[in-house]
Structure 1
Amino acid sequence: MNERRIRQLERRKERRKRKILFAAVMTGVFLLGLACGRCIVSASKPQRTSYKHYKIIRIAANETLWDIANIYMSEEYGSVYEYIREVKEINSINGCNILYGQRLLVPYYSTETELPNT
């Protein structure tokens, strides 16, 4: 009876070792898959480098700061208000009035060094 009990205990120990080894291997596989998945996801996102430029423009008849923002603003700005605030700050404009023929320095972002089509 003693030998039988000893064999049972040894089999239990062996099963326990296998379960622990299996759990460790599965955890390693999961972590490896997680790490590789992050690499694949980050590698698939195109990295866009944008450059900030400035351009002097002349205000056309009936043109507003909103019109200028629609032409030159890009996704780097959080909102139209943020863009207009920067234009006003650069050009020392207090209110919202701009005049026909007035020249403004406007910022814009581009992935190239060329001016945007306007």
Structure 2
Amino acid sequence: EGQMIRLAGQGSPGFNGGAAGDLFLEVQFRPDARWRIDGRDVTQKLRVTPWEAALGGGVQVTTPDGKTVEATVPAGSGSGRKLRLKGRGIPSSATPGDLYLELDIAVPSAVTPEQKAAWEALAKAYPGFDPRMT
């Protein structure tokens, strides 16, 4: 953002029939709730399931340039953890920025009896776990 692009000879015509001047365009980003921009780096929230966070694994991510890549969520990840995808941020003529994925664990609701039983089994498997004490 803020970069100037020069289009030679594409500006207004010169005085008394002179050659057209140059047109300068200033790059501005349209706000998007998915991304936070810091220079050439981009931060994006990545919602993951509790089992993806606990067990780890690959997830598909759409980068700011529209490409889909696979990011690896390390086992034992918690909400707020940041993963870095080097060179996947804002492209530039020099070095592209990085894409930071901030993990956000999405907890599914327990609607059916089977789903409630699964959550109860998980609670029994971790009798001493208290997230407020860690």
Normalised by the size of structure 1, how large is the TM-score? 0.29
Higher Cα Rg: structure 1 or 2?
A: 1
Structure with the bigger percentage of strand = 2
Which has the larger helix fraction? 1
Task: Report 1 or 2 for greater relative contact order, CA contacts < 8 Å, sequence distance ≥ 6.
Answer: 1
